[in-house]
A and B are shown apart, each in its own frame.
Chain A
Amino acid sequence: MHYSIFSVLSQAWKGQTGWTPMWREPQPKRAYDAIIVGGGGHGLATAYYLAKNHGVTNVAVLEKGWIGGGNVGRNTTIIRSNYREPGNLPFYEKSLQLWEGLEQDINYNAMVSQRGVLNLFHSDAQRDAFAYRGNAMRLHGVDATLLDREAVRAMVPTLDLDNARFPIHGGLLQKRGGTVRHDAVAWGYARAADRLGVDIIQNCEVTGIRIVAGAVTGVETTRGFIGAKKLGLAAAGNSSRVAAMAGLRLPIESHVLQAFVSEGIKPLVDTVVTFGAGHFYVSQSDKGGLVFGGSLDGYNSYAQRGNLPMVEDVLEEAVAIMPSLSRLRMLRSWGGIMDMSMDGSPIIDKTDITGLYLNCGWCYGGFKATPASGFCFAHTIANDAPHDLNAAYRLDRFATGHLINEGGAGAQPNLH
Chain B
Amino acid sequence: MRIRCPFCGERSHAEFSYLGDAAPTRPNIGTRATVPDTTLFVDYVYMRDNSPGVMREYWQHVGGCRSWLIVERNVTTHAISNVASAREQVLAATEGEHP
Contacts and interface: CB of A to CB of B under 8 A. Distances in A.
B76 A302 contact: yes
Contact of A250 (B18, B50, B52, B75): B50
A303 B75 contact: yes
Interface stretch (B25-33, B39-47, B87-95): B39-47
Contacts of A413: 20
Given A300-B57, A301-B75, A307 B50 contact: no
State which size class the interface on B falls in: 20 to 34
B51 interface: yes
A359 interface: no
Interface string A234-266: 000000110010000111111000000000000
Given A300-B20, A303-B77, A414-B20, A250 B13 contact: no
Contacts of A408: none
B70 interface: no
Contacts of A252: 48, 50
A411 B52 contact: no
Contact of B47 (A241, A251, A254, A302): A251
Nearest to B76: A302
Question: Which one of B59, B77, B78 has the highest number of Cβ atoms from chain A below 10 Å of its Cβ?
Answer: B78
Contacts, number: 73
Interface residues of A, number: 24
A398 B42 contact: yes
A264 to B, nearest CB: 30
A3 interface: no
Q: Which secondary structure dominates chain B's binding surface?
A: mixed
B49 A240 contact: yes
A139 interface: no
B69 interface: no
Given A307-B78, A411-B45, A300 B50 contact: yes
A258 to B, nearest CB: 13
Interface of A: 240-241, 244, 249-254, 298-303, 307, 309, 342, 398-399, 411-414
A98 B46 CA distance: 32
Contacts of B38: 399
22 contacts: A241-B50, A241-B51, A249-B48, A250-B47, A250-B48, A251-B46, A251-B48, A252-B48, A254-B52, A298-B18, A299-B13, A299-B18, A299-B59, A300-B20, A300-B50, A301-B75, A302-B52, A303-B77, A342-B45, A342-B46, A399-B46, A413-B20
A307 B46 contact: no
A253 B52 contact: no
Contact of A244 (B13, B14, B18, B51): B51
A414 B13 CA distance: 15
Given A254-B50, A303-B76, A303-B77, A412 B13 contact: no
B55 interface: yes
B39 A399 contact: yes
B35 interface: no
Contact of B75 (A254, A298, A399): A254
Contact of A303 (B20, B21, B55, B78): B78
B1 interface: yes
A302 B76 CA distance: 5
A69 B55 CA distance: 26
Contacts of A411: 45-46
